[in-house]
Structure 1
């Protein structure tokens, strides 16, 4: 039906209501909607599907209102329609994230300030990728993905934030999307927003991008381990799971929903908590021995003893299974 520029001109010049609606539909739903949904889908990929749909719908409604106002009142013209639509989609995502994740939003504001004040670093806008950041000399380059493992290479957290930024950009080969930088440094500094809905926790925990590829290769071993954990006495189980840590010191429980081993509801049941209560506490894991003791009504040393007993029992059971399996293998 024509380019976006021709469609916009046809819409603004249309005098017949039927023709006006036809061109507006083509402009919004054939041209703008795919751009909006692609950007919203990419930026909010871990958010609930209904939230993504709501954000995209709100952006489309705002766009229709803007176009009608432009025709009616001769508002400021839109020179590059696709770029305008993309920026509107990014703004819609920003507004959603600002309300959903206030701690993350505060971190983004801090990073904006640091990027503007740190020599040789900059933050600039791209209509396709939104905000991009990095060294000033990288302005003409496309963004590169940030490796999640980068967090482990950044060293000590207790340093000047500007120094950490400079070090991070020394570990990448080009500029990065500002959202990715924020997510990476949120993990590095432990910036988290409270989650009050079990459904949100389930979706975040089970998101494929949160689990390393190697996790799925180890799924069979995890299933076997989880089966043994389920058979532990309840106090041992709680002492073990509530303090379970991964290689970075964070909670390792996210691996279970992420690999399809157990739901958050099931984990909550096994540590003796209501599902919604556990969902709220999820982001505070792993717990200290004192916190676990308060939950179980036990002293700190008793919690340590329970966890040690759980590990010893699991070790014996898993070693026994491995030995039995080895005996079944025929000699070559």
Structure 2
């Protein structure tokens, strides 16, 4: 689930790296722009960049006959945006923007449902230009999109960059540059390169653009450790129950062995060895069955939408989960299971060596 969330953040929401004016994110002032031509010339020479999208961004109000809502207006170049955020794949009704049309708009499904608008509906956008004057423009909805993250669908709308720049009184400038890389591993290296080239701007990776996702990823190991501890406690009780029943069912046999001369350390090792043998058989068999199960569901996925509803999309997670076999932590898990089994076998073994031969034979 976390890997899927990270891919969503990178591929659909913020891209690998974003560039802004140093103070732009403080209040989204339209006057805080960047030179798009300068950025284009410099970014061409940076290794590792796959695609780039230049955006004009401002905040305003979207009004319809049925209501209004605060929105973030993103002025995009459709051809570039498709390569960075795959916006075209998220259109569920209508079509993506056309660069030749000026007054077309894309709206998220959740916002469209909230304002009760549909394809072809006319809306009015109100915002401030670079001189802090109120401006308004009429737009027609030509497409409705839907992403995994419902919060983004409710906030963001898309228009053509040239149209938005005209309303803002801007020329060949932009407020945001979204950069998609060939490899996830190159994020920090490319970020450092861009910071050295553009010291006057702020260069942020996806971790800084989406700090809540970075926090979830960084604490994932802690969550996993807690889950493993809970599973191991359940495993320990299961082993104790199994081995204790084994000792109680063979009380007479253990008493006979003791009466024939088997000392207590050997009885202790007998029970412990039985636990080890059960573990050595059970662990590989369990791992094999897990691998087969996960290999199947990794292809078809697990759909939890029937009971999760819209809760998952509210947090930016997909309701379709594709589990993965944890090959990297396989050895660690095996060692933890074997250690837990051996520790759990101590109590039944102690129970066995405390049996008195005479009492045991009378059972």
* TM-score with structure 1 setting the length: 0.24
* TM-score with structure 2 setting the length: 0.23
Greater helix proportion: 1
Greater strand proportion: 2
Relative contact order: is structure 1 or structure 2 higher (C-alpha 8 Å, sep ≥ 6)? Answer: 2
